[in-house]
């Protein structure tokens, strides 16, 4: 008879969040955070990896379900994060220095945008729940909800525009 070790079924957090001071984001400005603290703020929603449409007249930006070619819909992560710029040179590396110029397109629930604008993190944020799945359970992420940019012609992107949930809203993305 073969024996198996019991498996740890706790989902592993793909974003390192261990060893950080409790609720550091409430006591530090974004500009004062360490690299590890900055990276830990990402909730893993994946929405910054969606292609956007910008209204030429109003400048309003809408998110679409059409994901970047490197986005892995099943994991809700960039499939080649470390070497992504070899394939997608325009992928923005967010930092305190370029926040102001990027705010206009950032998702409403993005932790960086929320903190930059003086708002608290929502109660489903993995830093608060301790569970990387909580962003998905809250219906805020786009895991299993995207379409491929390879298979979606530009003229069809408008058909895939999504309306974002508000930061405190537990409802998922909705069709417009």
The single residue among 25, 33, 40, 45 that binds ligand SF4, judged by CB under 6 A, is: 45
Q: Pick the stretch among 37-45, 56-64, 146-154, 161-169 that binds ligand SF4 (CB under 6 A).
A: 37-45
Q: Is 46 or 132 the residue whose CB approaches ligand SF4 more closely?
A: 46
The single residue among 46, 122, 126, 167 that binds ligand SF4, judged by CB under 6 A, is: 46
Tell me the CA distances in angstroms from 160 to 46, 47, 62, 123, one per residue in order: 16, 13, 10, 28
Work out whether 47 is an interface residue with ligand SF4 (CB under 6 A): yes
The dihedral over CA atoms of 134, 50, 168, 128, expressed in degrees to the nearest 10, equals 40
What's the half-sphere exposure (Cβ side, CA atoms, 13 Å) at 34? 9
Work out whether 43 is an interface residue with ligand SF4 (CB under 6 A): yes
Q: Is 127 or 155 the residue whose CB approaches ligand SF4 more closely?
A: 127
Q: Which 3 state secondary structure label does DSSP give 103?
A: helix
The single residue among 112, 116, 124, 157 that binds ligand SF4, judged by CB under 6 A, is: 112
Q: Pick the stretch among 18-26, 54-62, 105-113, 151-159 that binds ligand SF4 (CB under 6 A).
A: 105-113
Q: Is 47 or 65 the residue whose CB approaches ligand SF4 more closely?
A: 47
Q: Pick the stretch among 28-36, 39-47, 115-123, 149-157 that binds ligand SF4 (CB under 6 A).
A: 39-47
Compute φ and ψ for 163, nearest 5 degrees.
-100, 135
Q: Rounded to whole angstroms, how far apart are CA atoms 82 and 108?
A: 26
The residues, any chain, with a CB within 8 Å of residue 74's CB and separated by 6 or more, are: 143, 144
Neighbours of 44 (CB within 10 A): 22
Please check whether residue 150 is in contact with residue 69, taking contact to mean a CB–CB distance below 8 angstroms: yes
Give the nearest distance from C-beta 81 to ligand SF4 in angstroms: 6
Q: Where does this chain bind ligand SF4 (CB under 6 A)?
A: 42-49, 68, 70-71, 78, 81, 84, 88, 91, 107, 110-112
């Amino acid at each position: 008879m073969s024996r198996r070790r019991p498996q740890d079924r706790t989902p592993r957090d793909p974003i390192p969040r261990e060893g950080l001071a409790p609720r550091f984001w409430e006591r530090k400005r974004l500009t004062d955070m360490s690299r590890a603290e900055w990276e830990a703020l990402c909730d893993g929603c994946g929405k910054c990896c969606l292609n956007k449409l910008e209204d030429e007249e109003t400048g309003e930006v809408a998110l679409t379900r059409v994901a970047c070619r490197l986005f892995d819909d099943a994991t809700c992560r960039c499939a080649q994060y470390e070497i992504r710029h070899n394939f997608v040179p325009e992928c923005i590396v967010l930092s305190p220095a370029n926040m102001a110029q990027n705010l206009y397109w950032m998702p409403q629930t993005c932790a960086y945008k929320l903190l930059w604008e003086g708002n608290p993190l929502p109660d489903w944020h993995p830093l608060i729940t301790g569970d990387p799945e909580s962003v998905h359970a809250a219906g805020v992420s786009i895991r299993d909800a995207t379409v491929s940019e390879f298979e979606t012609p530009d003229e069809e992107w408008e058909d895939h525009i999504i309306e974002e949930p508000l930061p405190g809203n537990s409802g998922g993305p909705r069709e417009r």
